[in-house]
Amino acid sequence: MAEVWERVKRLLSADDPETGQLVRYVITVLLGLTLAFAAPAAAPALVWTALSVSLACWLGFVALDRRAHRVALAALALGSAVAALAVGPDGSEGIIFLFATLLLFAAHLTPPVWAILAVAAADMALMLGGMLWFGRDPTSMATHAAVLVMTLLFALHRRQFRQGQLDRARAVALDERTRIARELHDVLAHSLGALRVQLEVADAMLTEKGDVEGAAQRVRRSLRLATDGMIEARAAVAALREDVPPLPEALSALAAAHRRDHDTQVDARTAGTPRPVAPAVEVALLRTAREALTNAAKHAPALPVSMTLTFTDRAVTLRVHNPFPGTAQHREPRLGGYGLAGMRERLALIDGTLEAGPREGEWRVTAEVPG
């Protein structure tokens, strides 16, 4: 029993609440019960035949929708048209079949709008023609027509809403793939490019100059580059995972790691009220902080570093600053996509800005992103 209940819960959580399998099961039971207890007062042979054919078309749609969309939708459209004929003699049973089949056809994302409107117009004509033939009063005809139009408009509205949701999901997925590609490109382009240069120099030293010691130094430098590249790749993958911690926690962890690895005082503070930010913003600010810490360790070793993350109503700002020794040469790395220039490009993609340079005896890096 517990296993059955678990399956039901999985079905409820994963199924489309409007056109999914559960809705189809419920409609199938409803149509079957309607046909079983149908008692038309006029033209019973016509009503039972029409309802039986409509139910067969419905079952064909349910069975074929995942395999042959066109055939399934054609069966559903035929089922609604046949059900419209059954509305004329009595209306109580036929209207249930008509609205169920037309609602699913109009809410389905596969048929074009013109096909939905054509099927609805045909159903309207068959329904009103049958009601007129069997002498139904004008008030009943107008009521049935109005309800059919409202059902059609509701189904089209839900279809448009669901289509918009799918389009937004595709846009988010495309943005996520682009962000992942940019992250990996930044890491691999720098690491592999620098590694290739070092190995080419080492090869030239061995083959042209016979400088074994110089080549060995280049090989050792290549090993360090490979190690750094692996660390950066792992950090990029970790930053792209769905369970990445909130930005203040991630910056605190980054500061702790830098403090441990370089035996340097690093303070990380948060100002304002923290709030969730987009993944692209979080990754860009984390990469900017990592680059700023790397430059501080390279050009001002053993000097304290301060990081401040500020949340305002319209922006998120990251400031990293450390003492600026007069002998230090702070220059932005020129390897594409990896230094502060690469950070500017990354932030520009999300409408952010980056400022870096000496000021009041400190080297300051300030990144600001709307959000």
SS3 state of residue 38: coil
- How far apart CA 190 and CA 346 sit, in angstroms, is 15
pLDDT at 330: 44
The values of phi and psi at residue 4, to 5°, are -65, -40
Read off the tokens for 72: 């399934």
Is the pTM higher than 0.85? The answer reads no
Read off the tokens for 341: 């220039």
Closest CA to 58 of 6, 101, 114: 101
371 residues of the chain, pLDDT tens digit each: 667 666 656 655 555 555 667 778 888 888 888 888 887 777 888 888 888 999 999 888 888 887 777 888 899 899 999 989 888 887 678 888 998 898 888 888 888 999 999 999 999 999 998 888 888 888 888 988 998 999 899 888 888 888 888 788 778 767 767 766 766 766 666 667 767 777 888 888 888 777 788 888 878 877 877 777 776 676 666 655 555 578 888 888 888 888 887 778 889 999 988 888 877 788 788 888 888 888 888 778 888 999 999 998 888 999 999 887 754 444 444 433 446 676 777 788 788 899 888 888 888 899 999 87
Read off the tokens for 111: 């048929």
pLDDT at 224: 76
SS3 state of residue 293: helix
Angle, in degrees to the nearest 10, between helices 138-204 and 340-349: 170
Q: Which domains does the chain have, with CATH numbers?
A: 2-136 (no CATH), 244-371 (3.30.565.10)
Closest CA to 295 of 333, 343, 255, 346: 333
Mark residue 126 as left, alpha or beta (left: phi above 0; alpha: psi -120 to 50; beta: remaining): alpha
- How far apart CA 256 and CA 262 sit, in angstroms, is 10
Long-range contacts of 141-150 (CB under 8 A, 24+ apart): 144/87, 144/91, 144/95, 147/95, 147/99, 148/98, 148/99, 148/102, 148/120, 148/123, 148/124, 149/124
Q: Using an 8 Å Cβ cutoff, are 191 and 225 in contact?
A: yes
Closest CA to 55 of 16, 8, 97: 97
pLDDT at 319: 93
pLDDT at 318: 93
